[in-house]
């Protein structure tokens, strides 16, 4: 699962810079500052978490898991915002299934990071 998370976070982190608009659009409006700043900050965080979890140093890898669990928790409001926006926009049932399906899927992502953090020391 750690390798999957490294690929997922690395790919998503790169997308935050190559195609930031979709990420900008789901930053909750209640947050101060520009949506683009949050998009770039979360992209940096995802790349950092991926790099830390890929690190051969066990201590760095474990802290990367803890940071990943925190990051996956922190971005949950953006997933809620996406579901809210897609509902208001009248997206079809398939799109709404994707938007609302992402919400419970956040839990295994949080758990994956937490599992790396809690992995036994060798």
Quote the CA–CA distance of 46 and 52 in Å, as a whole number.
Answer: 10
9 and 65 Cβ atoms separated by less than 8 Å = no
pLDDT digits (tens, 9 = 90+) for 100-109: 998 999 999 9
pLDDT digits (tens, 9 = 90+) for 46-67: 999 999 999 999 999 999 999 9
Note the pTM of the prediction, 2 decimals: 0.89
Predicted local confidence at residue 122, as pLDDT:
56
Quote the CA–CA distance of 79 and 120 in Å, as a whole number.
Answer: 32
Nearest alpha carbon to residue 114 among 76, 80, 72 = 72
């Amino acid at each position: 699962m750690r390798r999957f998370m490294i690929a997922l976070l690395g790919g998503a982190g790169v997308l935050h810079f190559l195609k930031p608009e979709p990420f900008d659009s789901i930053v909750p409006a209640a947050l101060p500052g520009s949506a683009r700043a949050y998009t770039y900050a979360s992209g940096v965080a995802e790349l950092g978490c991926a790099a830390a979890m890929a690190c051969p140093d066990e201590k760095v890898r474990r802290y990367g898991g803890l940071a990943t669990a925190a990051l996956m928790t922190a971005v949950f409001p953006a997933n809620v915002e996406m579901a809210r926006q897609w509902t208001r926009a009248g997206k079809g049932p398939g799109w709404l299934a994707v938007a609302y399906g992402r919400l419970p899927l956040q839990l295994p992502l949080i758990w994956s990071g937490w599992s790396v953090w809690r992995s036994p020391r060798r």
